[in-house]
A = this chain, B = another copy of it.
Amino acid sequence: MPLTHLVNHQIRLAARPNGMPKTSDWSHTTQAVAEPLEGGVTLKTLALSLDPAMRGWMNEGKSYIPPVGIGEVMRAGGVGTVIASKNEQFTVGDYVSAGFGVQEYTTIEKDEIKRNGLVKIDLRAGSLTQWLNVLGMPGMTAYFGLMDVGMPQPGETVVVSGAAGAVGQTVGQIAKIKGCRVVGIAGGPAKCDWVVKELGFDACIDYKAGPGAVRAGLKEHCAKGVDIYFDNVGGEILDDVLARINRKARIIICGAISQYNNTAPVQGPKNYLSLLVNRARMEGIVVFDYADRYHLAVAEMAGYLKDGRMKSKEDIVVGLNTFPDTLLKLFNGENFGKLVLEVARD
């Protein structure tokens, strides 16, 4: 059957959401699959990575990448297989990581390959879904944010929010491997237990345990103060940590999931003057800046996966059409582990 007889189901951005994205912000479309031109490839989506950052891509305005246009297929990274190739570097059946978009198939022409980020992946280093997690963008974000911006030293105390999420789980495990004391912040006893018992964090604070839980937890578990804070959530928790940082602390601003669906302005950290008192630093990170060194981090992390020092957990939801609802799990804290949308069976 020629490719063009395949039907590609797609999910497109229909409107810019105000607050939490709703059903009418999406449209479901179908299209014939395109044959690749010389140098191009056609891919079949197996699984897509769902990330908090997606919410930002849906907004208008300057950011680190342009917003998804109204009517465009929603941007998404994923893993899949090559089903047609006119490029000698790719063979039908190869597993790849790429910018697939929220759709079943995508054709990437020669000139687009680099910008798209299309690369072959090696399933000996990790499973397909691990390539979306610890070996993928979340893992790279964790690695370079912690190592390059955080610069952890053995014996330092590292706090990470969203500790059971894709980035947080990896940040904490790397920090443990590097000899730090690691305290997670996550929502609910199940996630907190898992982070401590399975991943080996020294402690985990349940931010849903009631008012003041984070403040009390930090006091209890970070008796020597906080040297590094890897922030995925922003809001009150950022302020609570700012109140307990040590001299020369490093705060990595990776995200602010508590603020992404705000209709009110973002809540600024009112304790930011703690940076002054403590000669501390708050710095933003965007993972794409480290693309030239992904292969080094992947090799290191694959080693940890192999020797059992690194674990990973993916929360896999099946079905392209569930995308609009599944995405929301990220914003109400329902996902447990890296959220993955399974589009097709391998």
Chain A contact residues, CB within 8 Å of chain B: 62-64, 234, 239, 253-256, 259, 265-286, 289
A282 (CB) vs chain B CBs: closest residue = B282
Chain B neighbourhood of A253, CB < 8 A: 272-273, 275-276
A281 to B281, CA, bound (A): 7
CA distance A265 to B253 in the complex (A): 22
A274: which B residues are within 8 A, CB to CB? Answer: 284
Which 6 A-B residue pairings sit nearest by Cβ, starting from the closest?
A268-B268, A276-B284, A275-B284, A268-B270, A281-B283, A268-B269
Known A266-B270, A268-B267, A268-B268; contact A277-B239, beta-carbon cutoff 8 A? no
Please indicate the chain B residues that have their CB under 8 angstroms from the CB of A255 in the complex.
276
Which residues of chain B come closer than 8 Å to A272, judged between CB atoms?
A: 253, 266, 268-269, 272, 282
Q: In the bound complex, what is the Cα–Cα distance between A272 and B289 (angstroms)?
A: 20
Complex A-B: 22 CB contacts under 8 Å: A63-B277, A64-B276, A64-B277, A239-B268, A253-B272, A253-B273, A253-B275, A255-B276, A266-B272, A266-B273, A267-B268, A268-B272, A269-B269, A272-B272, A272-B282, A279-B285, A280-B283, A281-B281, A281-B282, A281-B284, A282-B282, A282-B283
